[in-house]
Amino acid sequence: MLSFRGGVHPRGGKKLSSDNKIVRLLPTKDLVYPLSQHIGAPATALVKKGDRVLQGQMIAKAGGFVSANIHSSVSGTVKNIESRLVAGQNKVLSIVVENDGLYESVDYEALKKDVNSLSPKEIIDAVAEAGIVGLGGATFPTHVKLSVKEPDSIDYVLVNGAECEPYLNSDYRRMIEEPETIVKGLDAVLRIFPKAKGIIAIEDNKPEAIKAMKACVSGYDRISVETVKTKYPQGGERFLIYALTKREINSKMLPADAGCVVQNVDTMHAVYDALYNGRPLIERLVTITGETVNKPQVYSVLLGTDLSELVDASEGFNCEPGKIICGGPMMGIAMADYHVPVAKGVSALLALKEDEVPEEESACIRCGRCAEVCPGHVQPFKLAELARKNMMDEFVQNNGLECCECGCCSYICPAKRPLTHRIKTMRKTALAAKKK
């Protein structure tokens, strides 16, 4: 079975929502669009207070090459441009739109493309215009990933359908319910890379998704579906590349250096939507789940919707959650306040019971389990201690930058030490120092 060295097998939790069809949810409150909801420079507002906007209208323009356009997901009036709380629990300058409930849109028909007649540059430009970013969580602008200097050097376009993060089911439901959109999006991307093969990777615990995707790729010579081992973090770029191609990359390399471009399945759906339907990225799938949620569900949500509306649609909580996380339990961010907008990178809200929250940490017992499971081949216990002591140079010398922040070490640690958090914090500091 295709896989990588290391990794863990956390409790899945996927059955809570995996069998429920996607439900489309329309917002009832104001829509909030943070100007920074992607990796790179913040977008620049194109509207002002009092302006009327249409659904699909660009309301903020990319602030540079590594940035992304932002579009209104509803029609209505700009109430204000102000700082608002986001999922990371910090405040970001945001455009607030009062929804008029009419959903009057720009002319999507005029924005549709004849994909077969498009040049590679025209495809990339259309993706950039639509404001598409990586929807697996990284939110890296997709047009940047596709803008490879030498397109002929790319051998593989890998589509991540592993969805290895516990509890999450958005990609799974998309693959079952709309597989053709993923395949057509990938087929369009392959027009940019004439020598590349497209591979859709799905973990072996998703047989229905594998069946649906294989049925869709049967007429495409350059696209195949591969089954990978169910293991976390199988969907990480480095590990997916190794599992499928046996090529290795490190922190100093990009996937393109190994002849690969890696995209998420829902990102491919967004590419399809932009090219074939003329719709920019104004909607995404979000999983609301956890043992404390009354009705776990995958929702299709207009960007800017308040996350609390999804909780309400799931009939709230059956008990007070011990912790609420934006994203999954391994790489998600704890939230004290979930009254935040659904931005491009918001994939899930997970509400854990009190007894599912890690206990207080105790002293390291030098068991070495964290090093055994680390897919980045580093020694987390050592790096975390260097980080705690603020020894940045030694941290870097001990390959601290090779950490992928997957959370395996914290998950497996019997002492419940916050290894990932400490390493992640020092890694961020070291990377910032490196750029100076």
Q: Which pLDDT belongs to residue 391?
A: 97
pLDDT band at 173 (very low <50, low <70, confident <90, very high): very high
pLDDT over threshold 80, residue 436: no
Residue 142: which residues within 8 A CB-CB, separation 6 or more?
127, 128, 132, 133, 134, 263, 267, 270, 271
1-33 pLDDT tens trace:
799 999 999 999 999 999 999 999 999 999 999
Spatial strand order in the sheet of 283-289: 23-25, 297-302, 283-289, 348-352, 323-326, 333-334
| Residue 43 DSSP code | P
Determine the average pLDDT of the residues in 280-302: 99
Determine the average pLDDT of the residues in 163-180: 98
pLDDT band at 57 (very low <50, low <70, confident <90, very high): very high
User: What pTM was computed for the model?
Assistant: 0.95
Q: Which pLDDT belongs to residue 138?
A: 85
CA distance 225 to 51: 47
The tally of CA atoms less than 13 A away on the side-chain side of residue 291 is 13
In the numeric block, which tokens belong to residue 431?
A: 């990377």
In the numeric block, which tokens belong to residue 218?
A: 């049967």
Q: Which pLDDT belongs to residue 355?
A: 87
Domains of the chain plus CATH, in order, are: 110-277 (3.40.50.11540), 369-435 (no CATH)
Q: How far is CA 53 from CA 44, 46, 273, 280, in A?
A: 16, 11, 21, 15
Determine the average pLDDT of the residues in 158-181: 98
CA distance 26 to 101: 9
Q: Which pLDDT belongs to residue 228?
A: 98
pLDDT band at 221 (very low <50, low <70, confident <90, very high): very high
Q: Which of 200, 199, 165, 205 is nearest to 7 (CA)?
A: 165
Determine the average pLDDT of the residues in 299-322: 98
Contact between 67 and 141 (Cβ < 8 Å): yes
In the numeric block, which tokens belong to residue 6?
A: 């290391």
Q: Is the dihedral of CA 55, 59, 61, 66 positive or negative?
A: negative
Q: Which pLDDT belongs to residue 314?
A: 98
Determine the average pLDDT of the residues in 242-266: 96
263-272 pLDDT tens trace:
999 999 999 9
Burial 81-98 (b: 16+ CB within 10 A, else e): beebbbbeeeebebbbbe
| Residue 85 DSSP code | E
Residue 18: which residues within 8 A CB-CB, separation 6 or more?
169, 172, 173
Residue 150: which residues within 8 A CB-CB, separation 6 or more?
none
Among 234-248, 284-298, 340-354, 422-436, the minimum mean pLDDT is found in: 422-436
The dihedral over CA atoms of 150, 151, 153, 157, expressed in degrees to the nearest 10, equals 140
Q: Which residue has the higher pLDDT, 435 or 94?
A: 94
Residue 90: which residues within 8 A CB-CB, separation 6 or more?
none
312-360 pLDDT tens trace:
999 999 999 999 999 999 999 999 999 999 999 999 999 999 988 877 8
Average pLDDT, rounded, for the chain: 97
Determine the average pLDDT of the residues in 212-238: 97
* Proportion of the chain above pLDDT 90, given as a percent: 96
